[in-house]
Amino acid sequence: MHIRRGGGLSWGAVKASPEAQLRLLELADLDAELSRLENRRRGLPEHAELERLDRRDAELRDTVASLEAEQGDLKRALGKAEADVEQVRSRIDRDRKRLDAGQVSSPRELENLQSEIESLTRRQSDLEEIVLDVMERQEAAQSRREAAAAERAEIAAARDVVTARRDTALAEIGEQAGKAGDRRAAVASEEPPDLLTLYERMREQHGGVGAAALRAGRCEGCHLSLNRVDLNNIRAADPDEVLRCEECRRILVRTPESGL
């Protein structure tokens, strides 16, 4: 047990009936409930799941764009390679026609023409290899693009499911928060303005908890037990005195369980 040493209890000009002070505990419970609901709303696992799906979808979108650009480059490369093959094939056909037509009479010229045909044939083979390589790269890019598009479709379907689940959870939380908010407004409307103002100020300063019960000689706000002098001072205080815990400065509400 931790017992606060010295300091004494404090109270000021604000006074309120015991009933009004007890209502502060209900108000504090409602504020705690609203805070829990807000934390639950922010912490829904669906938020993180949607963020993960969105990140993956963005990656795939970039991948698809990159593959589209690559396919465009490959298409141009294939067109050039096929044109080069066609150009070489045309030269080979032309040279062979000259040979077949007997248009070459000089042995030296004949040798050069035959050598050129052999060279062009090798060149054609090399170019055709380039064409095949580009076509294979095109097929691979197309396959990756289709796979990325298919995964994006799966992500879109999964996102719809997760979004629906999130919206259902948010609607449930919203309904609970609405009821708690309505109840809080009703309780707050019954409180004296000066007491409510003090409570709100304490709530802002202490993480949403502006009032705490005194139970079994202990402040339920800071969870420290009061010393004998403080407890005697509380016994001597008028019921309408609004007490403050000297340790945590919250409004200290006497309850039937206080034993005072």
Q: pLDDT tens for residues 91-126?
A: 999 888 877 777 777 888 888 888 888 999 999 999
* Edge-to-edge strands, sheet with 10-15: 10-15, 241-244, 251-254, 211-215, 218-219
Looking at residue 259, its pLDDT comes to 62
Instruction: Label residues 141-167 b or e (16+ Cβ within 10 Å = b).
Output: beebbeebeebbeebeebeeebeeebe
| pLDDT computed for residue 7 by the predictor | 44
Q: What is the pLDDT of residues 44-85, one digit of tens each?
A: 999 999 999 999 999 999 999 999 999 999 999 999 999 999
Reported as a pLDDT band with limits 50, 70 and 90, residue 260 is: low
Query: DSSP state, 3?
Result: B
Domain ranges of the chain: 10-41+188-258, 45-179
- Average pLDDT over every residue of 214-229: 88
Strand partners, 252: 212, 243
Dist. CA 138–CA 144, nearest whole Å: 10
> What is the pLDDT confidence band of residue 2, given thresholds at 50, 70 and 90?
very low
Q: How far apart are CA 37 and CA 40, in angstroms?
A: 5
Backbone region of residue 226 per phi and psi (left: phi > 0; alpha: psi in -120 to 50; beta: other values): beta
Global pTM reads 0.72
Architecture of domain 45-179 in this structure: Orthogonal Bundle (1.10)
